[in-house]
Structure 1
Amino acid sequence: MLKTVRVLLPLLTLSVGSVAIADTHTTTDPRINAVLTDLGKVRQIDSVALSPDGKHLVWVVDTNGKPAMMLADADGKNARSIGLATKPGACSETTPTWAPDSRHLAFLSNCDSTLNGVGGKQADIYVLDTQGSDKPARLSHLSGYVNALRWSPDGKTLAFLYVEGATRRASALAAAKPLTGEIGVEGIEVQRVATLAAAGGNAQQVTPADSYVYEFSWAPDSQRIAYVAAPAPGDNNWWIAQLYVQPAQAGASRTTVVDPNTVSGPLHGLQIALPRWSPDGSRIAFIGGLMSDQGSTGGDIYSVSAQGGAPVNMTSGIKVTPAWFTWSSPQSMLVDQVSSGKIQLAEYSVQGDQAQQQRVLYTVAGFTGDGSALLALSFSSDYRYVAFDESSYEAAPEVHAGPVGTDAPPAVTSINASLKPSWGKAESVEWTNDGHHVQGWLIYPANYDPHKHYPMIVSIHGGPSAAQVPYWPQVGYTAVPFSTLGYFVFQTNPRGSYGEGEAFVQANRKDFGYGDLRDTLAGVDAVEKMVPVDDHRLGLTGWSYGGFMSMFAPTQTQRFRAVVAGAGIANWQSYYGQNLIDQWMIPFFGASVYDDPAVYAKSSAINFIKNVKTPTLIVVGERDAECPAPQSFEYWHALRALGVPTSLVVYPNEGHHFYNPVNQRDVLQRALNWFEKYLPPSA
C-alpha cells in the first residue's frame, strides 16, 4: 500500500487551518530553492542491461525528462547513443533487452508513434542489430500500454505485458480513472502476456482475457510461460493472485500451480512474486511472504513442481529478506536481499527443496537495481559478470559493472559525478526493542557542530512491507533534504519492514501503529544517547503507510511537535470502503472490516483524534487509488474542528505517486516550509 501547477480553487484561509488544491504561490526560503535546484540536477538511470556474453552494456539515462539509451563496452568505455531519438527530450526509449545471441537488442520506443490514451506517445517494439546497421527495425504496431519486454531463451520470440487500449499506466500507484459509469464493470483494463515473433508480425495475446497478469517468465524450453495473475481489476487483486503455467500460445489451457488462498502451511493467505524456472524446467521458485505492494517484493524463497503441488519454503527461518533472485545453476541461486537496511548479494546452495546461504558476495549501503524489478541485477549468461545502477546517500546514480566477486563492482559511468551531497553524513543505527533487532538510518545535519543541539525529523517508510535503504533523493517527497537545512533525519525500519526475516515482517499484523511506533520511539531514544538531539524539537513525517503513522502517532504520544502526513490513512474502517485495493488489507488485519471491525478501529487515528495537539500539514493526490483523498480530508476536518493548526493540500490529477514535476517540487517545498515554521533549526 504504499506520490503543482494550476490553481483550481482559491486558497481558503481558516482560523486554524487551510485547504488548497495546488496553490503555486508558496513562500520559499532561498535555501529551500537551492536544495530543490540541486535535486533537480540528478539524471536518473532507468534501466541497465548486460549482454549475455558479458562484453557489452546498455543503459537508459533520463535527459530533460525523457529517457534515452546508451551502448558501451562492459567497462563503460566507448559509450554511444543508440536508438531513434535524434535529440535529448524528443521522445522516450526504454526497457532494453538483449537477445541470447548478445547481438540483437530489443527495446520500446515512442519516437515514431502517435499519441495514445496513456498520456503520451505510443510505445512500440524495436530491434537493433548492434553489430550491423544503426537503424532499428520496428516490429510492432501496438495500441496500449506495454512493458516488461523479454526474449525467449531460443531468441525466436519476444514476450511482454500488454494492456490493449489502455487509458492509464498499469499500476496502482498511477492516478485512478475517473469513477464514472457502472463501477467494477465498465472500463476495466486487463494486462495480459503477449508474444511477437522476433522476425516481426502481429502480436498475439496468449493469456486469458479475464486474467490480469502481473509478472511472467519464460521456461527454458521457450515453449511455456509461468505467470502470476488474478481476476481483474488488476489494481485490487494482486493480493489474491495465483501462479499459473501454460504454453506460450493463444487459447492454450493453463495449469494452476500455486493458489496461496487454499494451500496449507506458512504461505497460506500470503502473496507471491518473481516466478523463476529451474534450469531443467521441472520446478518453479518464487518469493512468497506478507507483501503490501505489488512490485515491493520480499519474503522467503519457495519452490514447487511446474506441474503443481505443495510449495516448500526453501529458506525458512533466515534473518534477511530476499527481494530478487536468479538460478545460477541447478544447485545454486544468486539472491539480492535486504539485511538491516543494506543490500547484499548472496550465493545460496540448493539441495532438493532447501536453499542454504553459503556466502555473502558483497554488501552495499545503497539502492541497486537494473530497472526491471526491485533490486534486480543484470548478469552475463555464465553469471561471472553483473551490472546495475546504484545510488546512496554519498553518491548519485551511476552504472556499476564488473566481475561477480567479494567486492561490489565499481561505477563505469560518470553521469552524475559532479554532484555532491548537500546533506550531512549518514550512519546505520541498531537497537533492540520488545525482543526485536531494529535498524534505522541517521543523517546528520549539514555542517554539523557537536556542541549544538539540533531538531530531528523522524521519517517512516511506506508499505509497511518495505525497507528504508540509502539512496540519492530526487525532487519529490523525501526526508533527506531536511538535513541540508539543519535537521537530524532519522529513517527507521520498525517491525513490519524487510531486512530482519519474515517473522519480523509479520510482527505488526493486526497491530498497526503500536509495536512499530514503540520500535521507532525506542530508536529515537537510542539516537538521543548518541548525538545532541533536542527532544523538544522532534518532527514526524511519512508517505502512504508512513502517512498513516504520521496521523496515528500524535494520537498516542505528544513527543512530536510538527507533522507532515503524505497520502495518509485516518480511519481504517471508512478506508476499507473508499480505496480501490481493499484486498491488501485482509492479510494484515486477518479479516474484512465487515467480519472484524474492532481490529480496524483499534488502529484508526480518528478514534483517538482528541489526543492530537501537533500542527499537521496534510498532502495527497486528487486521484489516489491507494490512499484516497477523503482520508486526508477526514483527518484535516477533525484537526480543524479541534483547533489544531493544520493545512490540507490536494494535488490535481495525481495518484499515489506524483508524476508532474511541478507537483513533485511543490510538495517538498511545502513540507520544508512547514517544519521551518513549527520546528525551527535554530532554537
Structure 2
Amino acid sequence: MVEKRLLEKEDLFKIQSVSNPQLSPNDKEAVFIKTKIDEKENQYFSEIFHLDVETEKVTQWTFGNERISSPKWSPNGEQVAFISNRNEKSQLYMINKSGGEARKITNLESGINSFSWSPCGEKIWITGSLKEDASFTDQAEKEKEDKEQPKAYIVDKMRYKADGVKGHGLKKQGVHTQIAILSLNDESIEQFSEGTHSHSLYDISPDGTKVIIGVNREEQDDYNFSQPLIMVDVETKEETVLVNHEGYYGGAKFSYDGRYIAYSGSDAAFKNATHSHVYIYDIESGTTQNLTESIDCPVGDYAVADTQQGIDAPSIVWTQANDLYFQLSNLGDVQLYYASLEGAIYPASPEGEHVYDYTVSKDGQFAIIAVSNPTFPGELFVYEIAKGERKQVTHFNDEWLNEVILSKPEPIVYESTNDLQVHGWLMKPANFEENKKYPLVVEIHGGPHTMYANSFFHELQLLAAQGYGVLYVNPRGSHGYSQEFVNGVRGDYGGGDYEDIMAGLDFVLGEETWIDETRLGVTGGSYGGFMTNWIVGHTNRFKAAVTQRSISNWVSFFGVSDIGYYFTPWQIGTDMVDPEKLWEHSPLKYAKNIDTPLLILHSELDFRCPIEQAEQLFITLKSMGKETSFVRFPDNNHNLSRTGTPNLRIERLDQIVSWFEQYLG
C-alpha cells in the first residue's frame, strides 16, 4: 500500500481530461478524446481513443503532439473524421476503423471551424473563415496577398475585438464564417453560403435535403445579439425561420424521423441571466413548444472547474422514439435529463455530480457519460439509464487518485438577508486534525452567471492541501437556481451578493470551531475578482486577498472591455449617461478603505477584463501606501486559470499560495 501524499501544483500535469464520447452508428463502439498537459512542451495535447462498448476494451488510435476536437463517425461506421492542428492550422482528418494513419482531407489557409457528415457518407459539410471577396477554392492565394504588409485597422463598430482572438484581440475585418460542401470522391469544395455575414452549421436532415443554419443578417449588430435559426432547403435554398428574436439559440438537431427539430436557448428577458430551455419545432405544423417551461433552472452546463479540457457536449440528443436527453444545472449538480414530447421530464442521472459530456444510444437504453465529482477529476461510464446502473470504462486517473490525499467538500445551506437560502460547500484542510485551528480561504466564482458545482477543482484542492479550509458558495447571481435568484445580482453588484458571501462566512464560523477567524483570506477571478476588490473595500475581516482578472472601475470598463458597452448596462443598470452610478459600484472608489494586503493577478492579453483595470487598482493602492503587489502574465487571455499557458498556470497558483502563506501563516 503506497502512502498517499498531499496534492501539489504540478499535479495539473498528471490529471487527464476525458471527453467527447461519440457512439458509432451501431451503438457497439465509441471514440473519445483524452487531453493532457505536457510539462516539457508546455502545451496541451489530445488523442483519440476507441472503446468497445461490449468488452470495455479501450484502444488508443492517435499518438501525435496535437490538439484534436470533434471526432464524428461516418454514417457507415467505418471512418472517424476529426479536426486537428497537427500542421498548425485546424484541418479535417479522417482515420479508418480498420487501422492506419489518419489522412488529411482539407488544406485551407485559414483551416476549418466545424464539420458535419452528410447522411449519404459521400460528402462532409464544413465551415471556415473567408474574406468577403474570396471563395474556399481561392482562399490560399487571397490570404497570402494580405500578409505582404501591415494595414491600418479602421474601427466603425463597437464589437470589433474579442477576448481570445490572437494578436491584440482584434477581429479580422471583412472575414466571415461560411458553409461549404466537401466531396470525398474528389475533395472538391462547393460553397453553400455567401455574403457579408457569418454562418453557423447545426445539423443536416436524415434525408440530406435540409440543413439548419444560424445567421444574423442585420447590418448594425452592435446591439443585436440574436442569431436566427433557419432551416434551408439544400437544392432550392428556400428558408424556413425557426426562431428570430432577441436571445441566444443554438444546438439545433433533427429527430431521427426528420419531423422535429430540437434546439436550446433563451430569450433576452433578463439579458444574459435568462434561463435556457429546450424548444421543439414541429416541421409539419410549423409550431414551437417550450419543453422545459415548467422547470425553474437552466438547461445546459454552467459549472466552473479547471481541469476538464475540450468539452463539447451536445445541447440535445434524440432517440429513435423521439425522446430527448440534455444537461440541466440544478443546485450545484449538472445532471442528464430525460424528456418526452408529451411533457414528461425527469433526471436520468444521479445527484451529487457533474455530467460534463455525454452521448446516448439510438434506442435510449444506455448512455456514455463523462462524470466528475469534487474528489474525482472525471472518467467515462457506460450507464444503463432505465436500470440506473453504470460501469466505469476508462481509468486514466486511477493511478493518480491512489497517490493523493483529497479533501471532500461538505455541502452547506444557510440563510442570507431577506430569508434567502444560499447553497455552498466547505472543505477542511486535507491534513485536518481535531482540536487544531486552521486558516480559511473564501473562493468566489466568475460570471457571475455560472456556478460552483459538485465537480473536481484542482485549485480548491491545492489550497486544502496547503492547510487551508476552503469556503465556496453560490451567491445570488449564480446559475443552477431560480430565475429570480440568478437575476438577483443585476443592478445590485456589491449588495445582496456581498451579503450572501459574508452570511456564508458567518454561518461556517458559527458552526465550525476549527476555523481561525483571525486568519481569513479571500480570492476570486473576473466577477470573483470584482467581488474580492469590493469585499476588501468594505470590511477588514480578511487578513489577505488575491484578486484575479478583476473589474475595479466600471467607468473605464465600459469603453475598454470587449463586452463593456453592453455588459455594463445589463449588469449595473446604466451606462455613461450616469457615470456616478457606475462609480458608485466601482471598487476603485473605495480603495482608501482597503487595509487588507492585496495581490493583483492579471493577464496582459485579457480583453474581457483588460489589464488596465488591474493597473488602476495597483497604482492607486501603491500611491496610498497600501500593502499590495501586482503580477502580470504575458501572452495570455481571460482564461489563464483554465486553458492558459501551463507554466504560467503553475506560476499563478504559486503566487496565490505564497501570498496566503505570507499573511495567513
Instruction: Give TM class, smaller chain.
Output: 0.7 to 0.9
Question: Quick one: which of 503, 518, 527 aligns to 2:508?
Answer: 527
Contact 1:154/1:222 (<8 A) preserved: yes
Contact 1:566/1:619 (<8 A) preserved: yes
- How is 1:509-528 mapped onto 2 (pairs within 5 angstroms)? 509-528=490-509
Which position in structure 1 is the counterpart of 2:253?
A: 276
Q: Compare 599-608 and 515-524 and name the one that shifted more.
A: 599-608
Q: Secondary structure at the match of 2:374?
A: coil
Q: Compare 563-572 and 533-542 and name the one that shifted more.
A: 533-542
Q: Distance in 2 between matches of 1:406 and 1:557?
A: 52
Q: Secondary structure at the match of 2:582?
A: helix
Q: Distance in 2 between matches of 1:445 and 1:383?
A: 42
TM-fit CA distance, 1:504 = 1.9
Deviations 1:325-351 (A, max 9, x none): 333367632231111111222222333
Which position in structure 2 is the counterpart of 1:667?
A: 652
- How is 1:280-291 mapped onto 2 (pairs within 5 angstroms)? 280-288=258-266
TM-fit CA distance, 1:491 = 1.7
Deviations 1:176-227 (A, max 9, x none): 5327xxx77x646433444323445234453444323466233444333334
Question: Quick one: which of 542, 565, 587 aligns to 1:605?
Answer: 587
- How is 1:554-633 mapped onto 2 (pairs within 5 angstroms)? 554-582=536-564, 584-585=566-567, 588-589=570-571, 593-633=575-615
Letter matched to residue 432 of structure 1? E
Which position in structure 1 is the counterpart of 2:209?
A: 223
Which position in structure 2 is the counterpart of 1:432?
A: 415
Q: Distance in 2 between matches of 1:404 and 1:292?
A: 35
Aligned residues: 608
Contact 2:259/2:284 (<8 A) preserved: no
Q: Distance in 2 between matches of 1:72 and 1:577?
A: 50
Q: Distance in 2 between matches of 1:570 and 1:487?
A: 27
TM-fit CA distance, 1:245 = 1.0
Q: Distance in 2 between matches of 1:328 and 1:604?
A: 50
Q: Distance in 2 between matches of 1:458 and 1:57?
A: 41
Q: Distance in 1 between matches of 2:287 and 2:619?
A: 50
TM-fit CA distance, 1:622 = 0.8
- Does 2:99 align with 1:108? no
Question: Quick one: which of 439, 444, 462 aligns to 1:455?
Answer: 439
Contact 1:69/1:81 (<8 A) preserved: yes
Q: Distance in 2 between matches of 1:161 and 1:463?
A: 29
Letter matched to residue 451 of structure 1? N
Q: Compare 581-590 and 528-537 and name the one that shifted more.
A: 581-590
Deviations 1:241-272 (A, max 9, x none): 322314375994655543333xxxxxxxx433
Question: Quick one: which of 318, 341, 348 aligns to 1:361?
Answer: 348
Which position in structure 2 is the counterpart of 1:14?
A: none
Q: Distance in 2 between matches of 1:334 and 1:414?
A: 25
Deviations 1:537-580 (A, max 9, x none): 22111111111111122223322221111111111121010011
Contact 2:447/2:526 (<8 A) preserved: yes
TM-score, structure 2 as length reference: 0.82
Contact 2:526/2:549 (<8 A) preserved: yes
Q: Distance in 1 between matches of 2:28 and 2:72?
A: 14
Q: Distance in 1 between matches of 2:579 and 2:55?
A: 57
Q: Distance in 2 between matches of 1:558 and 1:148?
A: 50
- Does 2:65 align with 1:62? no
Q: Distance in 2 between matches of 1:54 and 1:107?
A: 19
TM-fit CA distance, 1:54 = 1.9
Q: Distance in 2 between matches of 1:489 and 1:330?
A: 46
Q: Distance in 2 between matches of 1:536 and 1:239?
A: 49
Which position in structure 2 is the counterpart of 1:379?
A: 360
Question: Quick one: which of 273, 278, 281 aligns to 1:301?
Answer: 278
Letter matched to residue 413 of structure 2? E
Q: Compare 555-564 and 572-581 and name the one that shifted more.
A: 555-564
Which position in structure 2 is the counterpart of 1:21?
A: none
Which position in structure 1 is the counterpart of 2:332?
A: 341
Which position in structure 1 is the counterpart of 2:430?
A: 446
Letter matched to residue 80 of structure 1? T
Q: Distance in 2 between matches of 1:37 and 1:293?
A: 39
- How is 1:456-475 mapped onto 2 (pairs within 5 angstroms)? 456-473=440-457
Q: Distance in 2 between matches of 1:467 and 1:456?
A: 20
Question: Quick one: which of 91, 102, 105 aligns to 1:124?
Answer: 91
Taking a change above 3 Å as real, the CA distance of residues 297 and 93 of structure 1, as seen in their structure-2 partners, is farther
TM-fit CA distance, 1:317 = 4.8
Contact 2:232/2:240 (<8 A) preserved: no
Q: Compare 296-305 and 645-654 and name the one that shifted more.
A: 296-305
Q: Distance in 2 between matches of 1:674 and 1:100?
A: 55
Taking a change above 3 Å as real, the CA distance of residues 290 and 652 of structure 1, as seen in their structure-2 partners, is farther
Superposition CA RMSD, Å: 3.6
Question: Quick one: which of 369, 388, 400 aligns to 1:407?
Answer: 388
TM-fit CA distance, 1:416 = 1.2
TM-score, structure 1 as length reference: 0.80
Which position in structure 2 is the counterpart of 1:332?
A: 323
- Does 2:117 align with 1:151? yes
Q: Distance in 2 between matches of 1:388 and 1:303?
A: 24
Contact 2:129/2:177 (<8 A) preserved: yes
Taking a change above 3 Å as real, the CA distance of residues 631 and 248 of structure 1, as seen in their structure-2 partners, is farther
Question: Quick one: which of 367, 370, 378 aligns to 1:397?
Answer: 378
Which position in structure 1 is the counterpart of 2:484?
A: 503
TM-fit CA distance, 1:671 = 0.6
Letter matched to residue 450 of structure 1? E
- Does 2:473 align with 1:492? yes
Which position in structure 2 is the counterpart of 1:22?
A: none
Question: Quick one: which of 467, 474, 482 aligns to 2:463?
Answer: 482
TM-fit CA distance, 1:367 = 3.2
Q: Secondary structure at the match of 1:623?
A: coil
- How is 1:11-90 mapped onto 2 (pairs within 5 angstroms)? 35-63=8-36, 64=38, 65-74=44-53, 77-83=56-62, 85=63, 89=65
Which gives a bigger RCO, structure 1 or 2 (Cα 8 Å, sep 6+)? 1
Q: Secondary structure at the match of 2:251?
A: strand
Contact 1:293/1:463 (<8 A) preserved: no
Q: Distance in 1 between matches of 2:55 and 2:586?
A: 51
Which position in structure 2 is the counterpart of 1:162?
A: 128
Deviations 1:369-418 (A, max 9, x none): 33xxxxxx212222222113233322233222232235363321111101
Contact 1:76/1:413 (<8 A) preserved: no
Contact 2:367/2:385 (<8 A) preserved: yes
Contact 1:539/1:563 (<8 A) preserved: yes
Q: Distance in 2 between matches of 1:72 and 1:163?
A: 34
Letter matched to residue 336 of structure 1? Q
Which position in structure 2 is the counterpart of 1:139?
A: 105
Structure 2: 5+ residue runs without aligned partners?
39-43, 131-138, 147-159, 301-314
Taking a change above 3 Å as real, the CA distance of residues 670 and 122 of structure 1, as seen in their structure-2 partners, is same
Q: Distance in 2 between matches of 1:54 and 1:613?
A: 61
Which position in structure 2 is the counterpart of 1:643?
A: 625
Taking a change above 3 Å as real, the CA distance of residues 287 and 606 of structure 1, as seen in their structure-2 partners, is same
